[in-house]
Amino acid sequence: MIDNLLIYANYMFSILMPFTHIGGYLSCSFGVILIWSFYKKIEKEPLFLLISVFIVYGLILSIFSGQPSTGFSTMLGYFSHWFMPFVLGFSLLNPKYFKKIFWTFIIVFGSITFFSVLAYFHLFFPKIGKDFYLVNEGLLKGLRSHIALGALCLLSSFLVLTQALLRKEISAGKRLNLFMLFLFFVFALFLTGSRTYYISAVISYLCFGIFWVVRTRNWRLLASGAAVLAVILCAYFFAPVVKERIQRTTSQDSNIQERVSLYKVAISEIKTRPFFGYGPGQGIKQLEFFEMLPADMKNVSRHPALHSFYLNFAADFGIIGFLIFVGILYFIFCGLDKSFYCGDDFLVSVGAGLLWGLVGILIGEMFDTLLRGPGVAMEVFWLTGLVFRQLKEKGCESAAQQ
């Protein structure tokens, strides 16, 4: 019965999370409440242990920080966006449901993105209810911020591209459909107008292309690159707001100047408190550092974060906390690398897609802080939990060490 509840909870996440993070919280709560039923499996997982260490470290910092309530609130966010979804994903025992739940998530998210694209071209409602936007101000939103949608489109594009490239048992027709779905996510990503994820997409797709060609000696991927370029050019000419955003991207752009100012604040804070930082969520609240900025830039203190996850994280948690985060990434990438040795084409493709999607998101996090919030972070850690549990059940860890 408990296993069934956890299956339903993962289905809930895959269906509700693309609509609202509230549904994600509700789904993840089942995994945390029922963790005792699979604790012997997860307690020895290094990633689970290190995330737990990070949560405890952040709570201790909060106690000794200038604003403990802000620190506790921030750590509740990291607990909800990292720990809880990883635990929920790891709770899924049956590999049969792993495939179904994965595709449920892709289909639901893809459907929301599809209707958003229709709304972009005035073929559907741009707004649902009071505050739920599919399109706003000429940018694709998909019920979230345009930047978060860009990140998830990039992640989803890799998840379906690796399905097309790595699954040997699927038919040519299904492979073509997967490739077309990949191009759709690329098209949607461009319509978001997120310049951060334009940069991230170019770098991550290029790196993946080089990796794939070197590994397989298969030059046909160049045709894929040409198709991606054609999709981007079409979007460029049919999306005037996006076109205008690209054309005005210079050093004089106010958004760029504000981000540079925030980076200066973050670097000054890190130099002042390098080891432990100012406490969770408190880097943005050190107003004395904003006073050093030019008069026309001091209002950047209104931002909720310092607009670079790495600088923001170091200002909040110091070098010690940043090293813990590097350790978390290390164990994530080590685990995803093990998926290549599992002998299951589907698991290999999901692991590879998640690995490269995470690379793209980490590139994007140089300019944004999505891993702090519910959108993107919860999906990444949930998918990681799903993959890690399947790897453990299939005994892929020992295979990878041979």
Rounded CA separation 22/131 (Å): 15
353 or 225: which carries more pLDDT confidence? 353
Q: Is residue 121 part of a domain?
A: yes
* Residue that wins the pLDDT comparison between 402 and 181: 181
Domain that holds residue 219: 2-253+304-401
Looking at the predicted structure, is the pLDDT value of residue 123 above 80?
A: yes
**Is residue 291, in this structure, part of any structural domain at all?**
no
To the nearest 10°, the Cα dihedral for 342, 346, 347, 353? 120
Is position 211 within any domain?
Answer: yes
Count of alpha carbons within 13 Å of 260, Cβ hemisphere only?
Answer: 10
Q: Is residue 27 part of a domain?
A: yes
**What distance in Å separates the CA atoms of residue 337 and residue 351, rounded to the nearest whole number?**
7
Q: What is the pLDDT of residue 239?
A: 65
Burial of 172 (0-12, 13-18, 19+ CB in 10 A): exposed
pLDDT in the model for residue 393: 85
Residue 260 lies in a domain: no
Residue 272 lies in a domain: no
DSSP state of 131: T
pLDDT at 297: 77
pLDDT-wise least confident of 237-246, 334-343, 369-378 = 237-246
Least confident range of 48-57, 300-309, 327-336, 381-390? 300-309
- Look at residue 199 and tell me if it is in a domain: yes
The answer to whether position 287 is within a domain reads no
Give the range among 32-46, 90-104, 147-161, 240-254 with minimum mean pLDDT. Answer: 240-254
Nearest to 337 by CA among 379, 391, 395, 389: 391
* Mean pLDDT within 301-318: 90
Number of domains in the chain: 1
**pLDDT reported for residue 400:** 47
Sign of the torsion formed by the C-alpha atoms of 325, 327, 330 and 332: negative
pLDDT at 287: 84
Query: In the chain, how long is the greatest CA-to-CA distance?
Result: 62
- 201-235 pLDDT per residue, tens: 989 988 898 888 877 776 666 666 667 767 666 66
Confidence band for 397, pLDDT divided at 50, 70 and 90: low
35 contacts 87 by C-beta, under 8 angstroms: yes
Q: What is the dihedral of CA 255, 260, 262, 264, to 10 degrees?
A: -170
Pick from 304, 350, 5, 313: nearest CA to 163: 350
